[in-house]
Structure 1
Amino acid sequence: MKTTNSWKSFGGTLSVHEHDSSTCRCPMTFAVYTPPGEGPFPVLWYLSGLTCSWANPMEKSGLQAHAAKYGVMVVAPDTSPRGKGVADDEAYDLGQGAGFYLTATQAPWSEHYKMDVYVTEELQELVFDHFPGDPARQGVFGHSMGGHGALTLHLKNPDTYRSVSAFSPIVAPSQVPWGHKAFGAYLGEDRAKWAQYDASELVRERPSQAKILIDQGVADGFLEEQLKPELFEAACAEAGQDLTVRRHEGYDHSYYFIASFMGDHIKHHAEALRG
C-alpha cells in the first residue's frame, strides 16, 4: 500500500491510498478520513454510486466536519475494479465505475468484479492493519448503487456492520432497469442468484437488529423508475425490520442532497456504535 495524497481537514487527516488487490486482480484506490484523537475509532464505510469513486463523498459531501465532531473514521472504497485489461462497457451503468458490490460469475466480468469480497474481506484487513479503527464498531452507508451495497452488505454481515443507512438507494435491483442490466451481465439470467444481492429480498430472509435510515429526495429523477423505496418499505414491514424512510421535497439525486443530510447519517451511526 502506498499513500498518494494527504490533507489536514477539521483537525483530522484525509488520505488516499493505492494497493494491488489480490481479490480484484488490479490496482485499487481508496480514501480514509481519520478524525482528530488517538482512537481506536468507530469505522464507517461509505459506498459510492454509479460513475463515482472515493473522491465524490470526500470532496462533495462535507463528511469530514461531522466525522470529526462525532469521532468516527470514514473509509471510501472505489466502486469497481479499473484499468487496462479490466472488462468495461461504453454505458455508465455497467463495467468500470459500476461494480454493484457483488461477485460476478459471468465472463468477462468474473475475472475482476468481486467488490463485495474486496470490501468485506481484503480491504477490511488492510484498513485495520494500517489505521486506528475499531473492528468491533463498524457501520456502512452509501448512495444509490452504493446504498444498494450498504443495505445488502449489512444484511449479509450484521455482526460486522452493526449500523446502516443510505441515500437514495437502489432497494430492489431485481425489479428495476439498472438491476436488470447489471445483474443479467454479471450474474446471468438465473434470478435466484439475483435475490442474494437484492435488499428487498434479503430483508425478508434475514432482518437485522439495526435501525435502518434512508433519506430520499422527492425531486429525484430516478425515484419512480430505478429506486422505488416503497418496495423496501413493504418488505421491511413484512419482515419486522426497523426502518425509517425520510422523503424530502425539492431534493434530487445529487451531492447537494447528500451534503444536506450527511450530518444526520453520521450521527445515526455514531449513536448506534457508541461504546
Structure 2
Amino acid sequence: MEHISTSRCYAGEQQVWRHESSSTGTPMTFAIYIPDHEDGTRLPVIWWLSGLTCTHENAMIKCEYKRACAEHGIIFVCPDTSPRGEGVANHDDYDFGQGAGFYVNATQEPWSPHFQMRSYVEDELPALVAANFPVDMDRQGISGHSMGGHGALTVSLRNPGRFRSTSAFAPIVSPLNCPWGDKALSGYLGDNRAAWREYDSVALIEDGARIENVLVDQGTADEWLEGQLKTHLFENAVRDAGMQAEIRMQEGYDHSYFFVSTFISDHVAWHAAKLKD
C-alpha cells in the first residue's frame, strides 16, 4: 500500500491510502479514520459507501463522523465509488461510469474489465484492511448515502451475519424501479432483469434475505425521493417480510451532505451500541 496522507483530527488520525486492486485492475484509494487506542486493541469498524459522483474524499471532508468515531472508539472506512484511471471505461453522464459504480460486478463490455466494485467492497478491501489495521472483524457495521445506501443495504442483505448493524441515508432502495437503477444495471449487467435482483434491497428481501438492526434516514424535502429513492418500497418490503427496521422520515431535509452531517453522529452512536463486545 502507498500512504497518501495522515491528519490529526479529534482523538485520532484521518489517513488516506492507495493500493493496486486485484478486483478492479486499477489503483484504488480509500480513507480510514483510526481513533486513539491502546497497543494491541482491536476496534469495531463501520464501512461507509458513498453516492454518485463521489470519491473517497467526499465523506471524509463533509460527513463529520470523526468526533463521534473518536468518542465511541470506532474505525471508519471510506472507499472510492468506482475504478478510475487511464484505460478505464467512462461516460459523460454523472450517473454512469466513473464515480457511479453502483457496487456491482459488471458483466457487460466495456465495463466488465474494471467495474468489479462488489468484489472490491465485499471481499478485497475488507481483507486488506483486516491485515493492515487494528480492526475487529467480528464487530462490523455498514452504512452509506444514496447509491452508497443502496450498496450498504444490498451488501448486508447478501452477507447475513457479517454486519451487526446496517444503516443508510437516502438510499436508492430499488434500482429495479427507478431511472438511475435502470440505466446503471442495464449498462453494467445487461437486459436480463432477473440478474439485477441481487443488487436491489427490495428484491433481496422479497427473495428471502433477512438482516437485523437496520436504520434508514430519509429527508422529506429530498428532490429525488419520489422519482428515484422510493423509500416506501423498502418500507413495504420490510413490513411484508416481518423484518424489523427503523425508518425515519426527517422533516425538511434534502439529499445533501448537510442532511448526512446532521444525523451521522446519531448513526455512529447507534452502530456503537450494536458493536459493543
**Does the pair score TM above 0.5?**
yes
How far did 1:6 drift?
A: 0.6
How far did 1:97 drift?
A: 0.3
Of 49, 52, 74, the match for 1:50: 52
Number of residue-to-residue matches in the alignment: 275
Query: In 1, are the aligned partners of 2:89 and 2:97 still within 8 Å (CA)?
Result: yes
Query: Matched residues in 2 for 1:184 and 1:207: separation?
Result: 23
Query: Matched residues in 1 for 2:250 and 2:65: separation?
Result: 20
How large is the Cα RMSD of the aligned pairs? 0.8
The alignment partner of 1:86 has SS state of coil
Query: Matched residues in 2 for 1:204 and 1:270: separation?
Result: 29
Counterpart of 1:180 in structure 2 is: 182
Query: Matched residues in 1 for 2:24 and 2:154: separation?
Result: 19
Query: Matched residues in 1 for 2:220 and 2:121: separation?
Result: 30
Counterpart of 2:139 in structure 1 is: 137
Counterpart of 2:261 in structure 1 is: 259
What TM-score do the two structures reach when normalised by structure 1? 0.98
Query: In 1, are the aligned partners of 2:158 and 2:209 still within 8 Å (CA)?
Result: no
The alignment partner of 2:51 has SS state of coil
Residues 1:33 and 2:21 are matched in the alignment: no
Structure 1: segments with no counterpart, 5+ residues: none
Give the counterpart letter for 2:97 in structure 1: G
| Structure 1: 4+ residue segments shifted above 6 A | none
What TM-score do the two structures reach when normalised by structure 2? 0.98
Give the counterpart letter for 2:102 in structure 1: F
Distance 1:272 1:208, change over 3 A: farther
Give the counterpart letter for 1:11 in structure 2: A
The alignment partner of 2:112 has SS state of helix
Query: Matched residues in 1 for 2:127 and 2:207: separation?
Result: 28
Query: In 2, are the aligned partners of 1:47 and 1:77 still within 8 Å (CA)?
Result: yes
How far did 1:206 drift?
A: 3.2
Query: In 2, are the aligned partners of 1:99 and 1:113 still within 8 Å (CA)?
Result: yes
Structure 2: segments with no counterpart, 5+ residues: none
Give the counterpart letter for 1:19 in structure 2: H
Counterpart of 2:96 in structure 1 is: 94
Q: Where does 1:120-269 land on structure 2 (aligned, <5 Å)?
A: 120-269=122-271
Query: Matched residues in 2 for 1:162 and 1:270: separation?
Result: 10
Give the counterpart letter for 1:255 in structure 2: Y
Query: Matched residues in 2 for 1:17 and 1:56: separation?
Result: 15
Query: Matched residues in 1 for 2:111 and 2:62: separation?
Result: 30
How far did 1:259 drift?
A: 0.5
1:42-89 Cα shifts (integer Å, max 9, x gaps): 010000000001111111111000001111000000000001100100
The alignment partner of 1:92 has SS state of coil
Query: In 2, are the aligned partners of 1:154 and 1:162 still within 8 Å (CA)?
Result: no
Counterpart of 2:109 in structure 1 is: 107
How far did 1:173 drift?
A: 0.6
Query: Matched residues in 2 for 1:240 and 1:71: separation?
Result: 33
Query: In 1, are the aligned partners of 2:156 and 2:211 still within 8 Å (CA)?
Result: no
The alignment partner of 1:215 has SS state of strand
Residues 1:22 and 2:22 are matched in the alignment: yes
Query: Matched residues in 2 for 1:98 and 1:133: separation?
Result: 28
How far did 1:241 drift?
A: 1.2
Give the counterpart letter for 1:86 in structure 2: V
Give the counterpart letter for 1:23 in structure 2: S
Query: Matched residues in 1 for 2:213 and 2:161: separation?
Result: 14
Query: Matched residues in 2 for 1:204 and 1:48: separation?
Result: 25
Query: Matched residues in 1 for 2:212 and 2:230: separation?
Result: 21
Query: Matched residues in 1 for 2:163 and 2:110: separation?
Result: 31
Query: Matched residues in 1 for 2:237 and 2:217: separation?
Result: 17
Query: In 2, are the aligned partners of 1:207 and 1:239 still within 8 Å (CA)?
Result: no
How far did 1:116 drift?
A: 1.0
The alignment partner of 1:32 has SS state of strand
